[in-house]
Amino acid sequence: MNLFASFAANNAFWLAWYGLVIRSPSTLSDSPVWCRILNAVLQYVLLTNYTWMLCEGLYLHTVLVSAFVSERRLVRALLVAGWLLPVLPAIIYVSRRAAADEQLCWMDDGPPRLELAVLVCIAVVLNLGFLCNIVRVLCTKLRAGGAAGGAARPSATALHALRATCLLAPLLGLQYLLTPFRPDRTASWWLVYEYISALTISLQGLCVAVLYCFCNGEVLAQLRRRWRVLTFRPRANSTTNTTVSVSRLLER
């Protein structure tokens, strides 16, 4: 829920930025206070995307590896970390840009700001480590299960590991490893970079929603139940179902 909330907030503020600032040359030239505040909030919610992806990776890794950790305390700690970790980099960002008295609503095409890039790099690198360890533990358990039940199947183990990697990569934001450095506009592959970056970033929320929400059995069951309510389809009589089940048991 928090990860999707950060995605929604980030997209909403980007739409506001393009609609209110980018399309208004006079706003860019005047650089009023509200557009600088909008830029600062935009950087904050952008960082929350990375911190919540890091929280997802830490949560999955902890639940899988450390079985005796209190899940309730872990979730509370992650709630604090996911929303408060970006506060300090955002404050440093605002302080540096305000002290330099930069114009154009603090918009620039230069290299990433160090105070923002550090947190992003830490989140992506840690999630890469979490993914590698999760896949390692998964492969170990699959091999142990195959050895206990008979001959182990390396191909099946590798297939499960590949499937887990493909499913977890968009959740943990590892698609950003495809575009770690932005080339100059004069580079020959700058346009290719822009297309790959736009596709991987824009489709992350949709990909995560499809994999972890719309393909989830519990979610699908709730949607079917809601659909039956909206279409006024009566549910099966529980008394009849119980009677039939008891009759079948007696016959056996």
State the pTM of this model.
0.78
- Asked if the structure places residue 203 within a domain, the reply is no
**Amino acid 234: pLDDT:** 58
- Asked if the structure places residue 38 within a domain, the reply is yes
- Asked if the structure places residue 249 within a domain, the reply is no
Q: Profile the chain (252 residues) by mean pLDDT over runs of 10 residues.
A: 92 93 89 94 95 93 82 92 96 93 83 88 93 86 65 63 79 82 80 86 85 85 89 58 41 48
- Asked if the structure places residue 250 within a domain, the reply is no
Q: Which domain holds residue 159?
A: 2-187
- Asked if the structure places residue 125 within a domain, the reply is yes
Residues with Cβ within 8 Å of 218's Cβ and at least 6 positions away in sequence, in order, are: none
**Three-state SS across 13-66?**
HHHHHHHHHHCCHHHHHHCCHHHHHHHHHHHHHHHHHHHHHHHHHHHHHHHHHC
- Asked if the structure places residue 66 within a domain, the reply is yes
Of 41, 39, 15, which is closest to residue 27 (Cα–Cα)? Answer: 39
**Amino acid 97: pLDDT:** 92
Count, in order, helices (H) and strands (E) of the chain: 11, 0
- Asked if the structure places residue 101 within a domain, the reply is yes
**Amino acid 235: pLDDT:** 55
- Asked if the structure places residue 127 within a domain, the reply is yes
Q: What is the pLDDT of residues 44-71, one digit of tens each?
A: 999 999 999 999 999 988 988 877 788 8
Instruction: Give the CATH number for residue 171.
Output: 1.20.1070.10
Q: Give the total number of structural domains in the chain.
A: 1
**Amino acid 186: pLDDT:** 81
